[in-house]
Amino acid sequence: MAKIKTNKTPAASAPCPCFSGNPYGDCCKPFHDGEKSPQPVQVMRARYAAYACNMPQFIMKTTHPDHEDFAKSGWRDSILVFCNNYKFTGLEVGQPEVDQDTPDKVYVYFTAMMAGAKGGGAVSFDERSVFLLTDDGEWLYRAPDANYKESVNVISKRKYNAAAKTDRPSGFSAR
């Protein structure tokens, strides 16, 4: 088995892998270093950047305990395999929507773009993610919104790696 890279952290002055247009040090790095994010959109962007940087601990730390993969055996390794199978090539984020009945629940719609790390085709998909606010003030990724018909809709794929489809960790799970 090929060695799996465990961290590809950019320099603080490099463009942030979340595609915000800001330097990494002024964008996702503080959250990757442990600062709490006050907004679910920032958590979502930092999670995308964490996938791009092979940071499974951050993905795990920002996942709600109710998520199906939470504490699953081999979860960290699954995230690393996924990170190493793809180059993360773009992210577009919509405006967050607060749930009308539950203000501690926010929906974040995004389009993630990736390409196979070893020459595979381009893949992009849309998801409306559910983020929940914990009692200690942290926003955590819960799951794709199962009631939203466009959630996790693969909108383009070429030469898609079938093995990677089955190894998608939280936040990138197709239905």
> Among the residues of the chain, which ranges form H helices?
29-32, 40-52, 56-61, 75-85, 162-166
pTM, to two decimals: 0.82
Per the model's pLDDT, the better-predicted residue between 165 and 38 turns out to be 38
In this predicted structure, what is the pLDDT of residue 82? 92
What is residue 28's three-state secondary structure?
coil
24-166: which CATH topology?
Answer: Nuclear Transport Factor 2; Chain: A, (3.10.450)
C-alpha span between 126 and 169 (Å, rounded) = 15
State the Cα angle at 55 between 81 and 75, rounded to 5°. Answer: 50
In the chain, what is the straight-line distance between the N-terminal and C-terminal CA atoms, in Å? 28
Give residue-wise pLDDT tens across range 67-123: 998 888 999 999 999 999 999 999 999 999 999 999 999 999 999 999 988 877 888
Q: Is the pLDDT of residue 6 over 70?
A: no
Q: What is the pLDDT of residues 29-48, one digit of tens each?
A: 999 999 998 899 999 999 99
Q: 117-142: per-residue pLDDT in tens? A: 887 788 888 899 999 999 999 999 99
Instruction: Sketch the domain layout of the chain as residue ranges.
Output: 24-166
Q: 51: how many CB neighbours lie within 10 A of its CB?
A: 23
